[in-house]
Structures are given as C-alpha cells and as structure tokens.
Amino acid sequence: MAQDWTDVGDRIRAARTAAGISQTRLAEAVGLDRTMVVKIEAGTRRIDALELVRIASALDVPLTHFVGPQPPVLSRRTVGLTEDTETEVGRESNRLDIALASWIADLRQLIALNVFALRPPLTYPSQVHTVEDARDAARWLRRRQDLGDRPIASLMDVCSAAGQSVLVTDVHGDGASAVDGDLAAAVVSRHGDPGRRRATAAHELGHLVLGDEYSSDLGVHASRAEREALIDAFAAELLVPASVFARLRTPVERGQLLGIAATYRTSWSLVLRQADLAGAGPVPRQWSQSKPTRAEFMEALGWTPLPDLDSVRVPPSVADAVMRAWREGLITRSRALELMHGQLQEADLPPDADGDVAP
C-alpha cells in the first residue's frame, strides 16, 4: 500500500510542535533545507528512511510513531493539539499522545514476541448517568479486586488487574489513555506530587471501566465537563472510599483526616471532598486553605506517605516480559532498557544473554 505522506507530515509537524522547536532548527538538525521541512510537513515531499530516522532522533520520538496506524486517544487530562498548539499545555498534551502511542507500540511488540499476554479490560456492567452511579462503579471494582475499603498499595497493580497497562513517563502533564482493539493502555506523568499521580492513574482507569467518554453510557448529551466530573467521582471513591469516614469520631478532627490522607496516599483536597460527601463534616473551611506539611503527616501517622507510580515505571508483568524477551535473545540489551523506560539502567542488567539480536 502506498505511504500516505500527508499523514506522515502531519505527525512530524505535531511532534515538532510538541518539542517546541522551529522548522529551521529541525532542518539544521537533520541536514535539510527549511523549505524541505515545510514540504515534508505539508505531505508534498517523500521522505527516505535515513531522513525519517534523523527526524525521529532530532525530535526524540520513536520511529514507529511516524509510520503505521495510530491509536485513538480515549482520554487526556490536558487540552489537545487541535485546541491550542502554541501553549505549553497544548505541547504537553501532544507529547503525552506521542508517549501513549509509543507505549502501545512497545506492548504490541511484546505481544508479537509471545512474551506478554493481555488481560481483558474490565467494563462496568451498568450504565453511568450520575455521580452516585460513578461511585458505585468504583465500589464494584474494589469488590472485583477484593480490596474492601483498604488503602491501595499500588495503582499500577489495580490498573493491570483491570486490563489497563500503565506507563509512568518523564513527559510533563498529567496523563492520557486509549483502547486500541483488545489493548488498553495509559501513560501517567511522574512529575508532580504522589497524590496527583495516583489521582491521574485512577482517572484514566475510570475512562476504561466506565467506557469511552463519547459513548452513550455516559450520555451523548452530557458536556465534556459533566463526563469528567463522573470520572473524577469514580477516581475519588476508588482512592478513598466514603465508608472510611463512617468510622471517624465526631466532630471530625483535622488529625483524623491527616491520618486518612497519609494512609491512603492521596491529596488533602480529595480527602476533604470525600469527607464532605460522606457526611463526616462539617469540615471547617480554613482546613482547605492550608495544605498539611510533612511534619504534620509525621505527627499524624509517624511516616510520610510513600510515593506511588515513581520508581516503578512499567507494570511487573511488562517488566517480566521484557526480561524474558532479552534472556531468550528476542531483543537486544539496548532495546530491553528502552522497554523498561528508565526503571533499569545499563549496570542493572546482568551480562549479555547469548544470542543477542537486533531489535
């Protein structure tokens, strides 16, 4: 089939915009005249393989991003490229989309090598129209995973059990997710505080469990803000169930809520919102105006909330698949490190496996 150079050009333009560099700078990096870059992005000039490799390297984007089908983005927590390409928020959104597409390509490679097996994505069996419906869906998922109302140790494990493979990426922003056929994937930025990372992961999982944000399950007449509110309600109930607040002494004390925020490793603002919804109030308004300090967390519980979705970048099942592929000589050492996305460094790998091959 003939290559669609217009599509390739669009992807190059989007990647260049996401990187925040000019056509002139890209042209200099790959040894082309700026007018050639203009024609490439317009789809009026063919690109040879070497040029495409140089462009991918200059933009720090996998070569596979420019060829082959791209997965539809199911959700992103920032505005997209088509909304505003000139703001940093828009560039972050596009970089997240690129990271997501690359992550899906990584997973597809491991599947093709027969070292990684997909789990069927979980979908809530009932329709969701209200905030309470969304909270019911979160409670349903907790029951499915036998979590009760206990703190979630790892959101990555919960997502994996629900059929969504999460990558923790160095790309700034929040997160994005997609369903590509039988594969559900998400990317979450490691930047920002631990509570935000966990909230983002829970939010992207909500898009999977509740269904595509454009589906009739969430109401075709609902606005994007209304749909996002349902997803946020799901995420909040998943992270800190309302039933937790029923055990609190009344009137509620700030130290009690500090203990919940630390134990459940979530944000102070989310705990305050959940306390209000659970009827554990009244929560004094001034509590929301000052974020607890580390000393306060230590005083409340004796330890600072442990980071989640930080040093662990890929799900354990993916890490196992990468190591198996490398040991069996199916991928090179360098490709194994790429697939681990910073979770392992060169010195962490044992000596080269026999039969090391090109990726």
CATH classification at residue 47: 1.10.260.40
CB 358 within 8 A of CB 332: yes
Q: What's the domain range around 333? A: 316-348
How is residue 130 written in tokens?
A: 């209200």
* Same domain for 340 and 285: no
Beta-bridge mates of residue 183: 180
Query: What local confidence, expressed as pLDDT, does residue 306 receive?
Result: 59
In a domain, 225, yes or no: no
Query: What local confidence, expressed as pLDDT, does residue 346 receive?
Result: 87
Query: What local confidence, expressed as pLDDT, does residue 78 receive?
Result: 42
In a domain, 287, yes or no: yes
* Same domain for 336 and 295: no
**Domains held by the chain: number:** 3
* Same domain for 291 and 343: no
In a domain, 58, yes or no: yes
Query: What local confidence, expressed as pLDDT, does residue 358 receive?
Result: 43
**pLDDT, tens digit (0-9, with 9 covering 90-100), for 199-243:** 999 999 999 999 854 343 444 445 677 888 899 999 999 999 999
Q: How many residues does the chain have?
A: 359
Query: What local confidence, expressed as pLDDT, does residue 80 receive?
Result: 40
Query: What local confidence, expressed as pLDDT, does residue 89 receive?
Result: 64
Q: Cα-atom radius of gyration of the chain, to the nearest Å? A: 22
Amino acid at 90: G
DSSP state of 330: S
In a domain, 231, yes or no: no
In a domain, 93, yes or no: no
Beta-bridge mates of residue 186: 166, 177
* Same domain for 44 and 1: yes
Query: What local confidence, expressed as pLDDT, does residue 303 receive?
Result: 53
Query: Is 0.75 surpassed by the pTM of this model?
Result: yes
**C-alpha to C-alpha distances, 318 to 11, 117, 336, nearest whole angstrom:** 27, 9, 11
Q: Which residues of the chain have pLDDT under 70?
A: 1-3, 68-90, 212-223, 298, 300-307, 309, 352-359
